[in-house]
């Protein structure tokens, strides 16, 4: 992590007025780097930067470094960091905002995570719940990697035999159950 200056950093687009990280930096500006978020995070071991280090990168405006990181993609939104933060910072909300920015800009290192997330949300919009077989089929089709499904074939067969997933036919052209809800959210987001 490169801590060049603690003043207003504009080199990476962080603290300059109007930068994409400004609302996020404002939310974590009171972070005192105590590390409670990292100690609470079940996925910290798999992250390239700990949550504490990520907040420092946000404070410094290290936009390039933040979006090269896989840290925020590893967040499982368990809210432990938010619940245990001694300053009461909305850390999980901040992680989700980073995901949205990275997704909108197309700046993410892992190509599978955003594809999985968008397939998951589309499945919820379509059926009102997750239909695992349909979601994974669409996910593998969107990956455009013919060997990827083979790595999960044995697990899929086990789940099918135990009745944990059912081979239902996907609704290819049916109207989604939550289309109206998703449309309303887009309207509200465009107003703000």
Q: What is the pLDDT of residue 152?
A: 83
CA distance 52 to 38: 6
Comparing C-alpha atoms, which of 31, 44, 23, 43 is closest to residue 86?
Answer: 31
- The ranges of the chain with pLDDT < 70 are 1-18, 108-111, 169-174, 192
In order of their start, the domains of the chain are 22-105 (1.10.1060.10), 112-191 (no CATH)
Q: What is the pLDDT of residue 74?
A: 86
Q: What is the DSSP string of 94-145?
A: HHHHHHHHHHHHT--S-SHHHHHHHHHHHHHHHHSS--HHHHHHHHHHHHT-
Q: What is the pLDDT of residue 144?
A: 83
**pLDDT (tens digit, 9 = 90+) per residue, 15-24?**
444 578 899 9
Comparing C-alpha atoms, which of 124, 97, 116 is closest to residue 181?
Answer: 124
Q: What is the pLDDT of residue 3?
A: 41
8 A C-beta contact, residue 70 and residue 47: yes
pTM over 0.85: no
End-to-end CA distance of the chain: 34
């Amino acid at each position: 992590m490169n801590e060049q200056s603690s003043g207003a950093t504009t080199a990476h687009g962080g603290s300059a007025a109007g930068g994409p990280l400004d609302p996020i930096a404002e939310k974590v500006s009171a972070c005192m780097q105590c590390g409670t978020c990292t100690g609470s995070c079940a996925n910290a071991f798999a992250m390239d930067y700990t949550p504490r280090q990520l907040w420092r990168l946000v404070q410094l405006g290290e936009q390039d470094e933040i979006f090269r990181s896989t840290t925020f993609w590893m967040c499982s939104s368990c809210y432990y960091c938010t619940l245990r933060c001694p300053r009461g910072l909305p850390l999980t909300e901040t992680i989700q905002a980073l995901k949205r920015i990275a997704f909108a800009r197309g700046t993410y290192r892992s190509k599978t995570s955003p594809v999985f997330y968008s397939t998951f949300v589309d499945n919820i919009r379509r059926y009102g719940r997750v239909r695992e077989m349909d979601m994974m089929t669409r996910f593998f089709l969107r990956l455009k990697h013919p060997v990827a499904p083979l790595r999960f074939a044995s697990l899929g067969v086990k789940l099918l035999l135990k009745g944990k997933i059912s081979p239902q036919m996907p609704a290819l052209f049916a109207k989604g159950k939550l289309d109206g809800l998703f449309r309303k959210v887009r309207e509200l987001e465009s107003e703000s």
